[in-house]
């Protein structure tokens, strides 16, 4: 009984000690415990996950800087100069035609000194500016045709390192707003040409150029806002031109940017900046670089821009025009003459193939002709001498003809 009791007491004592120790452990754990996070809404969790985006943001900024740094060496400014008359105020006599007796009666010139505008020779003056980029180490430069359209003007190129060169116009594209000029230089850095067929909406776009003809190598950044646009561009002394298949971007394009490159994040040229929408915010247009590659190669091999030619004047058909004209289809190219000339040019590939006025060209080599995919853009893909098969709506019937493309006449 005593042993038991002792044993019992000892057992009780031990039990109490263990119990007290467990209590202190529980209290300690209570104050040291890790409090579980309060529940949060799913969008809050998403927000927390996006906080570390500062690193990709830095990577993006570095990509833009890197693209500009690699391409800027190839971008040039083009200064346009002309001999203009120097007008001054010269001494004159507006009463010179009055008979002498009347002049004497009224006291000669009535005591006044007269002057009138007169020309004192000519002076070379800067009349405009544009941009371009180097496409060969020996000084070939791609720009817009409208930048170098004036045959009487002189063109000076300023390279990225501040050097100045006199430029000669090698070729003006008869179809697109493109031209190639040449300076006498060596060891230049040619721009890297990208692939404009792979562009996506929202992709980063970087424009570089001689903004306002004054701020060389101005950089603006935006995105690809649209693809396959058709715009009608005009300018003083240039006239009006419809440009198809162009890229739309919100990267700022200003006067003087014309002819400069539009870049992707790899620093590759994806377009040639050519126009901006007046009265709008950040709507600029760029010729896809793929459209220019054939012209560049033509100049390098032949010294001129040779382009394929079908020989028709046409009006692209959409649903609205089809209803207004009561046409049997709502797409294609309606072969129709204008004040510029007949629907089918005499002795042209179209004429020899038997294409007629009022035919509607529906397809060329299986490619559907639409507003977004015009006939001119399709023909530009082919070489002189290539034969295209055309699907044609002629009245109520469908006919097929084959036409071998010829070289576009120089005029």
pLDDT tens across 108-163, in order? 555 555 566 776 666 777 778 899 999 999 999 999 999 998 888 999 999 988 89
CB contact at 8 A, 205 and 223? yes
> Which three-class secondary structure state does DSSP give residue 139?
coil
| 228 vs 358, residue with greater confidence | 358
Q: How many CB atoms lie within 10 A of CB 142?
A: 27
Is 146 noted as a catalytic residue in this protein? yes
Which pTM value belongs to this model?
0.71
Q: Which of 77, 131, 146, 376 is catalytic?
A: 146
Question: How do beta strands 140-143 and 179-183 pair?
Answer: antiparallel
Confidence of residue 340 (pLDDT cuts 50, 70, 90): confident
* CA torsion through residues 250, 254, 259, 265, sign: negative
* Residues 1, 98: Cα–Cα separation, whole Å: 159
Report which secondary-structure segment, H or E, holds 24: helix 2-32
* Residues 249, 55: Cα–Cα separation, whole Å: 26
Determine the distance from the C-alpha atom of residue 174 to the mean position of all C-alpha atoms in its chain, rounded to a whole number. 19
Domains of the chain in sequence order: 196-302 (2.40.10.10), 308-407 (2.30.42.10)
Query: Is the pLDDT assigned to residue 209 strictly greater than 80?
Result: yes
* Residues 248, 273: Cα–Cα separation, whole Å: 10
Using alpha carbons, list the distances in angstroms from residue 282 to 246, 253, 254, 275: 15, 7, 9, 11
CB contact at 8 A, 273 and 284? yes
Q: Which of 258, 298, 307, 348 is catalytic?
A: 258
| 241 vs 167, residue with greater confidence | 167
Angle at 388 between CA 386 and CA 390, to 5 degrees: 165
Query: Is the pLDDT assigned to residue 103 strictly greater than 80?
Result: no
Q: Which of 131, 173, 177, 220 is catalytic?
A: 177
Using alpha carbons, list the distances in angstroms from residue 359 to 6, 318, 346: 120, 15, 16
Is 177 noted as a catalytic residue in this protein? yes
Determine the distance from the C-alpha atom of residue 184 to the mean position of all C-alpha atoms in its chain, rounded to a whole number. 27
Report which secondary-structure segment, H or E, holds 48: helix 42-49
Report which secondary-structure segment, H or E, holds 49: helix 42-49
């Amino acid at each position: 009984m005593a042993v038991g009791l002792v044993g019992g007491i000892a057992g009780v004592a031990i039990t109490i000690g263990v119990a007290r120790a467990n209590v202190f452990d529980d209290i300690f754990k209570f104050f040291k415990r890790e409090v579980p996070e309060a529940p949060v809404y799913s969008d809050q969790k998403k927000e927390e996950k996006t906080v570390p985006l500062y690193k990709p943001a830095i990577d993006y900024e570095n990509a833009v800087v890197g693209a500009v740094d690699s391409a800027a060496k190839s971008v040039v400014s083009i200064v346009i100069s002309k001999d203009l008359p120097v007008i001054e105020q010269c001494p004159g006599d507006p009463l010179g035609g009055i008979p002498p007796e009347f002049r004497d009666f009224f006291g000669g010139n009535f005591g006044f000194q007269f002057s009138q505008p007169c020309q004192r020779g000519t002076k070379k003056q800067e009349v405009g500016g544009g941009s371009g980029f180097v496409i060969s180490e020996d000084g070939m430069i791609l720009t817009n045709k409208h930048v170098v359209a004036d045959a009487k003007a002189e063109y000076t190129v300023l390279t990225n390192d501040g050097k100045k060169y006199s430029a000669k116009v090698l070729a003006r594209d008869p179809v697109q707003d493109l031209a190639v000029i040449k300076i006498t230089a060596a060891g230049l850095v040619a721009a890297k040409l990208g692939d404009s067929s792979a562009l996506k909406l929202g992709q980063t776009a970087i424009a570089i150029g001689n903004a306002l003809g004054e701020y060389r190598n101005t950089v603006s950044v935006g995105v690809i806002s649209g693809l396959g646009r058709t715009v009608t561009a005009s300018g003083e002394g240039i006239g009006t031109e419809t440009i198809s298949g162009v890229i739309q971007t919100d990267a700022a394009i200003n006067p003087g940017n014309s002819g400069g490159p539009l870049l992707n994040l790899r620093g590759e040229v994806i377009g040639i900046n050519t126009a901006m929408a007046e009265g709008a915010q950040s709507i600029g247009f760029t010729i896809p670089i793929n459209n220019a590659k054939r012209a560049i190669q033509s100049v390098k091999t032949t010294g001129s821009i040779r382009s394929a030619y079908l020989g028709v004047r046409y009006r692209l058909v959409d649903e609205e025009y089809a209803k207004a004209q009561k046409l049997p289809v709502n797409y294609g190219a309606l072969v129709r003459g204008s004040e510029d000339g007949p629907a089918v040019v005499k002795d042209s590939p179209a004429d020899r193939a038997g294409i007629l006025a009022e035919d509607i060209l529906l397809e060329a080599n299986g490619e559907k002709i639409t507003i977004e995919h015009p006939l001119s853009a399709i023909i530009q893909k082919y070489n002189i001498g290539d034969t295209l098969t055309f699907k044609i709506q002629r009245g109520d019937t469908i006919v097929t003809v084959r036409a071998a493309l010829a070289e576009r006449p120089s005029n």
